[in-house]
Chain A
Amino acid sequence: MATATATALSLTEVAPAVLALVPAVSRAFRHRSRVAPHRRPALKCHQSRPLTAVAAAAAAAAGDSPSTAVFHGECFVVGDNIDTDQIIPAEHLTLVPSKPDEYRKLGSFAFVGLPTAAYPTPFVAPGEEKSRYAVIIGGANFGCGSSREHAPVALGAAGARAVLAESYARIFFRNSVATGEVYPLELADTGAWKECKTGDVVTVDLANCIMINHTSGKQYKLKPIGDAGPVIEAGGIFAYARKTGMIASKSA
């Protein structure tokens, strides 16, 4: 029987570092913050200087610095290719994230789509609205599938502060930063999810780009979050844009 003839010619002209999704995406947000605000006519802009100058001035005024956030708590461990339907099943998507009470409800449904055979410990205990796990550890292609922003929202609403994964699907990463709900951090190496167990106590230190698993004693290097960090810290792209003077504050 004839089999498919498929010839994969890798004409890789770009350095492997650029092909690696993660540093390229971090650079995306570094570039993003350098866009001159005057190119957004619909938003009222104070200055037309390049954003780096504006951001630097605002940062100096606000006491901002490269992400120094530290998270400490129990971790929840999942594997590769965790999709958005596992994070928040389609049946819960009638909940509108911009409505406060429905936002909280989304949190209570975070990760209910995970198969119980593989994941016997629920992320959110029955009857609770929030999770005991502050940090999620995952494998490759975390957040693949749908574009539903409900996914990072559900995790953030449940109280998770950061996801540490080997790589991310594009829309999930973008949504995480835009909403400021969770830090989508990238592990420098693979295999962490195989060594960590749900319930291990971990510390995530952004300034030093490291995750320490106190229960196992192992440490894991993180890739720097780059300019996505301040956006998340501010509370998402709109809040960041206001904080740095890119757009007028709402009272103006």
Chain B
Amino acid sequence: METFNNPKPVLHLLLLPCLLLYSSIAFSSSVEAAMHTNNWAVLVCTSRFWFNYRHMANTLSLYRTVKRLGIPDERIILMLADDMACNTRNKYPAQVFNNENHRLNLYGDNVEVDYRGYEVTVENFLRVLTGRHETAVPRSKRLLSDEGSHILLYMTGHGGDEFLKFQDSEELQSHDLADAVKQMKEKHRFKELLIMVDTCQAATLFNQLQSPGVLAIGSSMKGENSYSHHLDSDVGVSVVDRFTYYTLAFFERLNIYDNASLSSLFSSYNPSWLMSTAYYRKGVYKRSLEEVPVTTFFGSVMETIHTDAAYKALSRRNSGKFEAQTSLDQSVHHSERRTPVKVNDRDETHNINPEGQEGASKCPWSTFCNKFLKAENVDSLVNYGLVAMVPFLMISMWLVR
């Protein structure tokens, strides 16, 4: 290593300002974190047993909705604590309905359940959120979000004052959830997060939440119960909860191009229909709800950025990608894997070095150019160019005359 380093002290000196420049750019972009990159959904049904049919139906209905609105299957983590479709008590084997008219089978061919049965535990749930998995866990079971991700977290089951029951045996408490969200924030795992909970006393689950960029809505306030919407006398169980039913009713009217805002969704919950008070908590969520379309969370609608030049904005993209990759690596890192990651870093810096060197040799003109590029003033660059053209034009005119 030393032999490698020693012959080129001058080169290092040359390199230093460029690296500083580069890192300052990267830092500024990570603080900004403005770009919305992708949408994720984590849908959790936490209760077992046949008589909790409706919780699975809730979750599957939401799954269908977010899929319809454009979140692909690989970005949906679906956790179902029990398999109602194959329960022996199910009159319609391998089918799940959320309405007594039985028009829509929620358990069709293309349902990908990531965590099922006894895999749905508080531990696994927190692992999914924070991204601390065993090495053997496949990518399809991980929440591979980045700092530009919008995440929808939907949970249903039986809850109480500041807790949510998992599997009839353990419970997720409000500070567990808050802690997980805080970790996610610190690991840049999301840009915006919507937590939607349909349980009894759901609002109490958000009591400890403090992280910025987190919106939360619960089906009922403290001391209130969330009720089921209706009973399917053919299947013999209640098939959907009220809160979820009216959420779905809201989304049934929408398609991917609609611009309905989150506030219109939140105000659509009528306490007399729900028989409970839907409560949302804005916390440190900066944007005004009227301006946020529901598809921010319930669909995958990207913001289109208009650029004049096809490739000019590339450098910025590159930096973003690089950040995403490192954050991804962080989320997976283990002591065994740390060394290869480091090596990768060095490779990358090495790869970048020649470019930097080139840039340094072309100074000062290229740095000037770079500055312009990095200042993202493409238009002004063009303008400056045009202005610079004027003397040339005048000189050439003068010569011709």
A binds B: no
